[in-house]
Amino acid sequence: MNAKYQPLFQPFTFRSGTTVQNRIVMAPMTNFSSNPDDTVSKAEVRYYARRSKGPGMVITACTYVTADGKGFPGEFAGHSDEIIPSLRELASAIKAKGAKAILQIFHGGRECPPELVPDGRIVSASAVASERAGAKVPEALSEEEVRHIIRAFGETTRRAIEAGYDGVEIHGANGYLIQQFFSPHSNRRDDHWGGSLEKRMNFPLAIVDEVKRVVAEHAKEPFVIGYRFSPEEPTTPGIAMEDTLALVDVLANKELDYLHVSLQDFWSAPRSRAVDAGKKRVELLLEAIANRVPLIGVGSIHTADEALRALQTGVAFIALGRELIMEPDWVEKVENGQEDTIRTVLRRGDQALLEVPDPLWQAILNTPGWFPVAD
């Protein structure tokens, strides 16, 4: 290994007691490839196993916690005890290669396609449609339904424990239900769950507390709890950077194992003029966190040099997404001094070599600009 990359390969022990072998994380990525009954497919198991030998931690694609929370076709489920054997197969495959297995848990809220949820009924914090074209107006969740979903996040955490995962990541990012409660665009409530900035935090914080309660009750070994968030929204009204800094300040005191920011570009600057425009989002987040909890950074990091530069900002981990789809051996190649051989372009004949499931492969080929693809 080139000695300068040594910081990427330092082990890290989380608050919970779990130790990971390095600072590289496989980012959670939707792959559209589960079985028709929403169990994990054999193709998904092979796909994850192929990418679990190098990173210290692998975060799965999101799994939905209630039947009305399914956000994607081919998304695997976590809302029933019947799914535990399927979840266990995936956790075992990841862990067998050396990575820690983290199950991302989520509810799609108003972003759920009506055809994927019971009776086509989509729900959210309030009856406000997303601003994307063709979005349907959701139904506002009742008090009883809100509390049911909070409990469901806990129940899916219990299933993750029973299935042998090393942790869960609460998906509070990318415009899904948890973010919908935090957002002034999608949350127009005037009860305990909405109104002021502090009340818009109540739903995400209640989920954190419920997941922590379940882990304390059921986990017999160290179990990681992470939380993913998006720092800003493009809508007006919408989540501003100063809102997220307030949320992060509270989350940093919740004794979580990590926070995970969702960014397209690690080095992006905030939109909001109410914060220091001379600083990047990651810098502002690290200042707010003040070393109370590790932060995972992500976004358009391709090379070992870029990963090292990002790590030097003070984040604890670097998450890689597309890079590990294109090059499952990214981590090992850097560790073995072979970074010059890392694959940077997908070729149409690479699918079998890379063990990418058919639905994901078709999405890659049919989404211009998502990946560099050559014939």
End-to-end CA distance of the chain: give it in Å, rounded. 32
Helix%, strand%, coil% for the chain, nearest 5 = 40, 15, 45
Q: Which of 328, 308, 19, 345 is nearest to 166 (CA)?
A: 19
Alpha helices in the chain (DSSP H): 42-50, 84-96, 143-162, 177-182, 197-200, 202-218, 241-251, 281-289, 304-311, 322-326, 330-335, 351-354, 358-365
- Nearest 5°: the CA angle 140, 141, 143 is 130
Dihedral (C-alpha) 352, 357, 258, 243: value to the nearest 10 degrees?
130
Asked if 305 contacts 342 with a C-beta cutoff of 8 angstroms, the reply is: no
User: What span, in angstroms and rounded, lies between the C-alpha atoms of 192 and 149?
Assistant: 15
Q: Which of 239, 243, 251 is nearest to 290 (CA)?
A: 251
Encoded tokens for 241: 């950077």
SS3 state at 26: strand
227 is catalytic: no
Asked if 302 contacts 325 with a C-beta cutoff of 8 angstroms, the reply is: no
Asked if 174 contacts 219 with a C-beta cutoff of 8 angstroms, the reply is: no
In Å, how far from its chain's centre is CA 232?
16
Phi, psi of 356 (to 5 degrees): -95, 125
Catalytic residue among 48, 165, 176, 258: 176
- Nearest 5°: the CA angle 287, 289, 295 is 105
Answer positive or negative: Cα dihedral of 132, 124, 209, 212: negative
- DSSP per residue over 243-302, as a string? HHHHHHHHHTTTT-SEEEE--S-TTPPPS-SSS-TTS-HHHHHHHHHTTSS-EEEESS--
Q: Which residues are catalytic?
A: 176
